[in-house]
Structure 1
Amino acid sequence: MGARPNFVKVAALYRAFSKYPEFSVSLVHTGQHHDDAMYKVFLTQLGLPKPDFSLCIHGGSHTGQTAQIMLAFEKVLSSESPELVMVVGDVNSSLACALVAAKEGVRLAHVEAGLRSGDKSMPEEINRILIDHMSDELFVSEESAVSNLRNEGIAADKIHFVGNVMIDSLVYGREKASEIPVLKDLGLEKGGYVVMTMHRPSNVDSPVELKMLTDLIQSLCEIKPLVFPVHPRTKSSLISYGIWDQLEQCSGLHLLPPQGYLEFINLISNAALVVTDSGGVQEETTFLGVACVTFRKSTERPSTIGEGTNRLVGDLDVAHAISIISEVINGKKKPTSLPALWDGLASDRIVQIIQKKYLK
């Protein structure tokens, strides 16, 4: 595990493996997200123990980070000699560890396999494809991903449609999240505010995009109070281009540091709408039945569009986005349903499959 979404998925898997004493599980944290706000609070809230191995790799380019993790993880494999390496998601940590496992001849399982956006300009898309084609076992979260893998020539006996482990942790933590007084602390009421998350380079790395983001924030604040937990890279960009001070003066805007898992689930559960460019938030809002507007041209999670509460609005086109957001807030909602097997039991299915195939 390396980044915040990984912790959520690994926590669900760890809880499931813990039910079976015949498994010995070691946790490896690469260090991709490493500070208290991005890491330690997640471990505490999700019930994860201190990792068995902390590689302490963070920062650098995509290539540099991947290479450093590979070298460090190679030493872990050499000392531990595992029978199976399991990676989750699509971040650089996942690719790096998958590459080492494949080169060392260790069986590899990929959780959240088969997701495709069709946009190879996204580093995550490259990571997904490479991991899937190296893996021995591919655990799939939605039906479209099965088709993607079959169309790419991956054998059917490697593909397992098990559901979404992100939802497992959401089910696990939802009641605890409801007990946190984050709304009271902010002076907000259920359904009376909007939540925003933005962190992708295409939305926050240039002055042009940041100007549009600022315009969007100001327009949203005229509709409803806006809660904006700010990712470190986003905050760094806003400060670098002299926009942070301007936002701090925006009436109705709650600029927050990155939130713990339970705090964030509480915030999005009770929001009128969530505005994001995150992949995982699209899934969480779909499960929670909360409207979501996503600032991306494509999504690797089409079930959140076809069945769920999510709508794509492309790049930061403020006028177009505000038009859609206003419609949603004013009650125009599309019919939705819960994607198949998003029931909180995906991790148990994964462990049962591994038990059946590898513990004979």
Structure 2
Amino acid sequence: MLKRCSILLLTLIINVSCSIKNKPIEEIKSSPSPEDYVIDKFEDHSIVLLGEDHGIKQNLDFVRNMIPTLYENGIYQIGMEFGAFEVQDLLDSLLAAPEYHDALAKEMMYFYNVGWAYKDYRDIYKSAWEFNQTLQPDQRKFRIVNLSYHFDWTKFNMDDKECMGDVFYRGEIDSFRYELVKREIVEPKEKALLLVGTPHAFTKFLNKKLPVTLKKDCPCQSVFLGNRLYDLLEDDICTILLHQGFYGTEASDYKLISPADGKIEALMKQNNYKPVGFDLTGTVGEFSDHSFYSSCHDSFKLQDFFDGYIFLAPFSEMEGCTFDDYFYEGKDYASEIYPEIPDPNWNPRPRSAEEYIQQRKEYVDIKNRYKDIIIN
């Protein structure tokens, strides 16, 4: 009798263990498509933030292909980090025009950032224009909202520490973006999908106004766009991370590592790398992570970071954005491009146009960027 009870107990333990072990993949297999996942989030939130690692083609394709579905569900705007509000009227006119003018789209992107010579970001403009062509004249047009302003990098001086105030002459950038989103989206009670770089999408993460235990030396400030919007909207905002590599800690010289110590990619492989969107508050979010982002926590999990996660492709299949070989056509490098090259304090300006073009192409070499985390 005792032997039989022992066998039954052992069987029960094994079954429970297997059930717990298999639960993450079961959740992933039952997760919705990325498109459906985003739309689901708008049922309970007016703003959904997408945090991207810049320059990945799949991310941009995903966003532009969502435009018809967003519109059908009452979301009429996409906010983009890469765009200057000074040309918002021009962009609105372009997206409502009977003909599309890529030269104008190119000039607007150049005005914001002379280094952003990537067609895929402008393709979001074109996709919005193409969708607007399907609407009746009296129907509301889909809109792309530029979330930034033109930074005056001609005022940068390496020897003058006070010069950054002249570069960012409209104030701290995420404070500016916050006021713009509040004016254009929140106050009119609109809904919007906002595509920004990963740190700008932080909401609860590193938010000093929340009762989260952080290490004493943690740079805990509510300075990012998402932090500020969360302070205003609380649970009316949702933040989703697009699959990407994480920087490691100082001990690893910040070498890129795979999220959740590689467990996300391992899970996705079990699901045949099918694109999915899923919450980080359940079993999947319990996965620990030891990347740079864990530096402020004794025990850091993905659910401490973002609300949701979208997987579009494994690192091995990610593609870089398309460099536009004609982006600088008609521009003089020495007098027009060179003085406006951004971030020279940590990204020295190349002396020739050829070197700069090569630098911009290398930036979107995703295979090289992710070489340390690609699973062969």
TM category (shorter chain) comes to: 0.3 to 0.5
Task: Give the structure with higher Rg (CA).
Answer: 2
TM-score (norm 1): 0.38
* Structure with the larger RCO, 1 or 2 (CA within 8 Å, 6+ apart): 2
